[in-house]
Structure 1
Amino acid sequence: MSYKAFKDALTSDVPPAGISVLQQGLWYAAKGNWEAAHQVAQDHEGERDFDRLHAYLHRVEGDEWNAGYWYRRAGAAVPVQSLEEELESLIQRWG
């Protein structure tokens, strides 16, 4: 799915058919459905990209300690960018 198609899909009430589970988690995160996105991340704990999504979600939640834990598990540094910029970079990467 292209970046533009992913962004366009955010106007829908349901994730687009045929996207990966990781893209579904990202779609829920971009829609502000923290619980659904978190469930996707938790269901795939131990997979680096899902752990990275998990880290972002805990940063959104404001739980910096837990976010730091998940960034380390994902092998990523805690971003210095805003939450919006981080989400945008994740969409560009996985969307």
Structure 2
Amino acid sequence: MTMNLDQFRASLRDAAPSPALAAPLAALWWAGRGADPQGWERAHALVQEEPGADAAWVHAHLHRVEGDAANARYWYRRAQRPAAEGALEAEWDAIAGALLGRA
């Protein structure tokens, strides 16, 4: 499935992420639905046991959203990424763009 960032962002209006998305992107999709009170939990469940740097990067972002900086730093190290410090929305865009570029 080929999708760009604008299409991915537009898909947030759908009821669920595309089943063709890999777990890290599906988690980011749930995290991007700020109005969905269960979005964070669904996103976290998708990457909690998922191996790989991409899942760890999304996991780190989720813990930043949660406000757990220490846990986020752990997951950034697992992702081999520097800890993000900017706006959460900008980080979401950066992660989504990078992961979509690999899909």
Structure-to-structure mapping, 1:1-95, within 5 angstroms:
1-32=3-34, 33-44=39-50, 46-95=51-100
Q: Per-residue deviation at 1:80?
A: 2.2
What one-letter code is carried by the residue in structure 1 that aligns with 2:17?
P
Q: Per-residue deviation at 1:20?
A: 2.0
Query: What's the TM-score, normalizing by structure 1?
Result: 0.89
Measured in 1, the distance between the counterparts of 2:94 and 2:10 equals 16
Identity fraction in percent: 36
Measured in 1, the distance between the counterparts of 2:67 and 2:58 equals 14
Query: What's the TM-score, normalizing by structure 2?
Result: 0.83
Structure 1 alignment gaps of length 5 or more: none
